[in-house]
Structure formats: structure tokens, C-alpha cells
Amino acid sequence: MAEALVRTTLQAGRYEGVLTGAGQTEIEALHKGRIVGVAQITEHPTEAGAMHVALDLPTDVLSDGVQVVGLRSTATGEVLDRLTLMSGSAMDDDIRGELTLLREELEMLKRAFRRHCVDTAQD
């Protein structure tokens, strides 16, 4: 069974999740290619065979722009989860802003198309 890490919560800078299918492993937090933390892994209180993973995110990963923190298994080297943190003025040009503009344009086109259908149906 392959390792799987499912995030259960991210609150006040603390990541928590459930790890299954893992043997002896640690979970490292990677940011810009460097290890910024190691998660605490304990037996899960309610799920047999699962482990509870907890990690306090370091404050140095919080900065303007898009920051990605990968959670990697030391046993397999596989990234099991990623946290994407977005903040600051650099977000004005972010893809989410572009998506909002595209949605607005799509709504405008839908209205124009419906109006065109109504106008041409009467002919």
C-alpha cells in the first residue's frame, strides 16, 4: 500500500493530517528546495493503522507572492501533500485574478448570446 497523506486542517499556521500506508518515515516540509521543518508523527487516536501528522509552519515561509510548501516522505522521497500560500500585493497579477476576469467576460458573452438568440428567434 502506497503512502498517502490527507490534510484534515490548517489552522493558525498548524498543519494536521492523516498518514496511511507508511512504514518508518518522517515528513519533511520543503520550501524553495530547503527543509524548513519536520512534522510530528504519532498514532492516530481513532483510525487503526493510521498516523496523525502535525506540523507548525515556520513564519519565514509567509511572504508576498505564492509560496509552496511540500510535505515529503523521507522513506520514499515522494511529496505527499502541498500547501499553497498566497499573499501580498504581488497577488494583483495572480492567476486567480485572471480567472475572475475570465468569469466576468464569460458572463458578459452569455448575456450577449442570449440576447442575440432572442433577437434572431423573432425573425
* Helix residue spans in the chain (DSSP H): 95-121
Angular region, 76: left φ>0, alpha ψ -120 to 50, beta rest:
alpha
pTM assigned to the model: 0.70
pLDDT digits (tens, 9 = 90+) for 8-62: 999 999 999 999 987 788 999 999 989 999 999 999 888 888 999 999 999 989 8
Residues 4-87, CATH architecture: Sandwich (2.60)
For residue 39, give the DSSP letter: -
* Integer Cα distance of 99 and 120 in angstroms: 31
Domain ranges of the chain: 4-87, 89-123
